[in-house]
A = this chain, B = another copy of it.
């Protein structure tokens, strides 16, 4: 399902001359991590560990584990480097899907009728084949735009859960967006950030989704959370401790605004988002998530109280307007 040139990977590892390696991969690539561990042991005189801690992105680098195990090379499989987090202690091995995107495009082409100019976005696993998808769309008479990311993604057309700038870049030029990839969180981000009609097609299952409906339900939920937060007195600000999720400045800004509005505020540092633990803080009315944006958006339904992102807190306080938050709502 995923291809990897192991010879090339071994040669990249060799250039680090490592003695102690820690391999990290998201759940979907766990067995690829074991296979790589085998190859490393067969080829180098090296101690290899395979992390079994959660990994949802290149923002969760296992520096704590690496320090405790005296690791001299972290191999992070599956995600592309996040530019401002680059480190010479980390070797990024992106994984590429071998699935043909042409079928996915053929499957979604009917629903794209009525939209001429299409913005094309995907995740890193499919990035190599995005231009094939572009060609097929063009054969169907579409004008296709692929934008440049400017925050945490690095490839043209690549989006992350926390970076849809490759879509925003071209939003003014297009009538609709097409996301090719799994999950609905990434294209929902595109729909929210651009306000444009957005469609998703999963190249494995060939399932097609109009994000319009997803977005309406999502916004209703967000709105309900914000309304609940309007009367709240006690706020718990979640402070991410993962390498790429620790935004102390945002925490302190939101904290001081909340205090100015007479709220009681607690700062809750976390490495891992655990809804049960957050729920156990009974005296907190509203959680503010400053770590990974997905926490508030995807996991918040697992907590019985609102989990807002910082901008949503500003709406709850009346500092910002709802319309400033989400376009075309």
Contacts and interface: CB of A to CB of B under 8 A. Distances in A.
Interface in A9-56: 22, 27-28, 30-31, 34, 37-38, 48-54
* Interface of A, helix, strand, loop or mixed by DSSP: mixed
A6 to B, nearest CB: 16
Interface in A305-322: none
A125 to B, nearest CB: 16
Given A54-B277, A277-B27, A271 B271 contact: yes
A43 to B, nearest CB: 16
Interface stretch (A64-72, A133-141, A198-206): A64-72
Interface in A249-296: 264, 266-272, 274, 276-278, 280-284
A153 B274 CA distance: 28
Nearest to A66: B269
Given A68-B241, A246-B68, A269 B28 contact: no
B31 A268 contact: no
Nearest to A234: B34
Given A52-B238, A269-B49, A283 B31 contact: yes
A48 B255 CA distance: 13
A239 interface: yes
B271 A53 contact: yes
B31 A281 contact: yes
Contacts of A37: 266
B241 A277 contact: no
Interface string A149-190: 000000000000000000000000000000000000000000
Contact of A69 (B49, B269, B274, B281): B269
Contact of A277 (B53, B246, B270, B284): B53
Contact of A54 (B241, B272, B281): B272
Contact of A280 (B28, B238, B269, B270): B28
A321 to B, nearest CB: 30
B22 A52 contact: no
A239 B239 CA distance: 27
Nearest to A62: B269
A272 B238 CA distance: 18
A68 B52 CA distance: 22
Contacts of A284: 34
A276 B27 contact: yes
Contacts of A281: 30-31, 34, 50, 52
Contacts of A64: 64, 241, 271
B30 A270 contact: no
Contacts of A280: 27-28, 30-31
Contacts of A274: 52-54
A272 B272 contact: yes
Interface of A: 22, 27-28, 30-31, 34, 37-38, 48-54, 62, 64-65, 68-69, 236, 238-239, 241, 246, 264, 266-272, 274, 276-278, 280-284
Given A31-B281, A65-B271, 8 more contacts: A27-B277, A27-B280, A48-B267, A50-B268, A51-B269, A52-B270, A64-B241, A64-B271
